[in-house]
């Protein structure tokens, strides 16, 4: 996967060349003495060179370690808008390889404070995007346009409009994009979906998704922007907003960041964990490439304080195949499929993606349960439905980069799961039943709801400002 090494473009050169509409690079001469390490199955030419965009909590705890464990990958660059996190990211990568190989100089990770400069590096084959939610779609689209494959944290978008744009670009470019809905690589979610799809609980009619809300938070004073943090770019396409630490991320450590609870940057748990559960539910419902035909919701929102995403809520979504899905924090965290002949419940069990996951191991439900234990031991026959099997989400992505086969969580399925999150959030804001056309991706005869399918984007950032 690797190419001949090239020098990277400096920041000054990048800005100058971009303004002129040109990009240049300088080739370093190939050394006359070639070390033995460049030959064999672990040679650099057999590695997939990875650039990490976003070195915060989910990047460090989940995506970086999840990718570094695979020998086929070689992480050679890191990017973050916070200098402290950027330096920490470089140390994590180089420390991991030094410990694994015994060679302190195995990799010298290149640091970038602007992902657009990273995308100019021809040595990088693929990027991992572990940024805040409002910075998902744009870098993924630009990475595809630059010829990079992508691992993208969920939610795939914050609006239906940018999600559709993302899916269309990825499919047009032939990019291998894996959505970070890693529950697909947890065996219990596949097993539950296979049992449901093969009729082990009879005809499926109801799905109950347990998903918590978020608490309200305090007001917070305006603070000086920390040195070494590009706050304007961090805000990206969202409106200008005074800086305060609990509205962004901790300056010390990698605890759960405050931006997760501000609607400017996300929609709360309905997108934060909702895409995981809606994606898994759709697997069992056989609705992966469509969506509900109606949605209605009730939700509580904070009346004061900085954090303003939803708290307790209930969403009802009806599907054309006759299934009704209810989502609420009042249900156990996970997915319960109910059929005419029994039920199956599936959850993460004691799995956590990061140390600051909102549901602790102590409060986790059983990973797999059923109305009759015999349902869970039922063998799926050779001629029955067998779903895509993956051992690990990042490893599946890397394998598909090499084979060019579709990954277990491709972009269109990710967009459809995210769409359920987004129309549910819109329904929380509007006190009526909404009719949704999943093919047209618009609400039926509802201009107010359709106006919420996109939102203004602050220049020069945003998917609407990408030069295709």
The DSSP annotation for 48-105 comes to EEEEEE--SHHIIIIIIHHHHTSTTEEEEEEE-SBHHHHHHHHHHHHHHHHHHHS-TT
Contact by Cβ (8 Å): 394, 75:
no
At residue 349, the pLDDT reads 85
Bridging pattern class, strands 73-79 and 110-112: parallel
At residue 358, the pLDDT reads 47
At residue 366, the pLDDT reads 86
Which residues 6+ apart lie within 8 Å of 459 measured at CB? 465
Contact by Cβ (8 Å): 128, 53:
yes
pLDDT at 64 over 60: yes
pLDDT in tens, 404-451: 999 999 999 999 999 999 999 999 999 999 999 999 999 999 999 999
In the structure, what pLDDT confidence band is assigned to residue 1 with cuts at 50, 70 and 90? low
pLDDT in tens, 106-155: 999 999 999 999 999 999 999 999 999 999 999 999 999 999 999 999 99
In the structure, what pLDDT confidence band is assigned to residue 79 with cuts at 50, 70 and 90? very high
Domains of the chain: 11-182 (3.40.50.720), 184-215+265-382+411-465 (3.30.360.10)
What average pLDDT does the chain have? Answer: 90
Bridging pattern class, strands 204-210 and 324-328: parallel
pLDDT at 54 over 80: yes
Please name every residue paired with 27 in a beta bridge, in sequence order, or none if there are none.
6
**Which is more confident, 363 or 250?**
250
Structure tokens at 305: 């304080």
pTM for the full model? 0.88
The C-alpha atoms of residue 438 and residue 420 are separated, in whole angstroms, by: 10
pLDDT in tens, 205-223: 999 999 999 999 889 999 9
At residue 321, the pLDDT reads 97
Structure tokens at 271: 């997108």
SS3 content of the chain, % helix, strand, coil (to 5): 35, 15, 50
The C-alpha atoms of residue 56 and residue 60 are separated, in whole angstroms, by: 6
At residue 306, the pLDDT reads 94
pLDDT in tens, 323-376: 999 999 999 999 999 999 999 999 998 644 444 444 444 444 689 999 999 999
Contact by Cβ (8 Å): 152, 140:
yes
């Amino acid at each position: 996967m690797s190419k001949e090494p090239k020098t990277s473009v400096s920041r000054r050169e990048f800005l100058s060349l971009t303004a002129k509409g040109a990009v240049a690079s300088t080739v370093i001469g190939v050394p006359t003495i070639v070390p033995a390490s460049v030959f064999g199955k672990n040679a650099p030419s057999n590695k997939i060179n990875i650039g990490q965009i976003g070195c915060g909590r989910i990047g460090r705890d989940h995506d970086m370690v999840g990718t570094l464990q695979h020998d086929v990958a070689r992480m050679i660059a890191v990017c973050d808008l916070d200098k402290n996190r950027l330096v920490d990211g470089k140390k994590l990568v180089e420390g991991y390889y030094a410990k694994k190989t015994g060679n302190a100089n195995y990799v010298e990770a290149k640091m970038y404070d602007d992902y657009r400069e990273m995308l100019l590096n021809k040595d990088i084959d693929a990027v991992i995007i572990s940024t805040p939610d409002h910075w998902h779609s744009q870098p993924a689209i630009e990475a595809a346009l630059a010829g990079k494959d992508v691992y993208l944290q969920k939610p795939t978008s914050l609006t239906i409009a940018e999600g559709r744009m993302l899916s269309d670009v990825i499919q047009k470019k032939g990019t291998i994009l894996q959505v970070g809905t890693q529950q697909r690589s947890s065996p219990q979610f596949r097993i539950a979906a296979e049992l449901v799809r093969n009729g082990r609980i009879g005809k499926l009619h109801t799905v109950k998704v347990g998903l918590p809300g978020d608490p309200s938070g305090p007001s917070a004073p305006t603070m000086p922007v920390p040195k070494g943090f590009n706050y304007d770019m961090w805000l990206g396409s969202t409106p200008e907003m005074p800086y305060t630490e609990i509205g962004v991320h901790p300056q010390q450590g990698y605890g759960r960041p405050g931006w997760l609870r501000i609607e400017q940057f996300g929609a709360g748990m309905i997108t934060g964990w909702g895409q995981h559960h809606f994606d898994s539910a759709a697997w069992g419902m056989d609705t992966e490439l469509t969506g509900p035909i109606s949605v209605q919701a009730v939700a509580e929102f904070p009346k004061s304080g900085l954090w303003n995403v939803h708290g307790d809520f209930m969403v009802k979504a009806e599907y054309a195949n006759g299934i009704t899905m209810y989502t609420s924090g009042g249900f156990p965290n996970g997915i319960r499929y109910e059929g005419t002949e029994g039920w199956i419940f599936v959850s993460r069990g004691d799995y956590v993606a990061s140390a600051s996951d909102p549901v602790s191991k102590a409060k986790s439900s059983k990973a797999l349960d059923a109305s009759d234990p015999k349902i869970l031991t039922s063998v799926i026959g050779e001629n029955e439905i067998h779903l895509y099997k993956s051992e690990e989400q990042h490893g599946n992505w890397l394998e598909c980069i090499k084979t060019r086969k579709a990954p277990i969580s491709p972009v269109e399925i990710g967009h459809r799961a995210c769409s359920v999150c987004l129309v549910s959030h819109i329904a929380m804001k509007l006190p009526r039943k909404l009719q949704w056309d999943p093919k047209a991706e618009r609400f039926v005869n509802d201009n107010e709801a359709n106006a919420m399918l996109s939102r203004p984007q602050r220049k020069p950032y945003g998917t609407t400002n990408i030069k295709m």
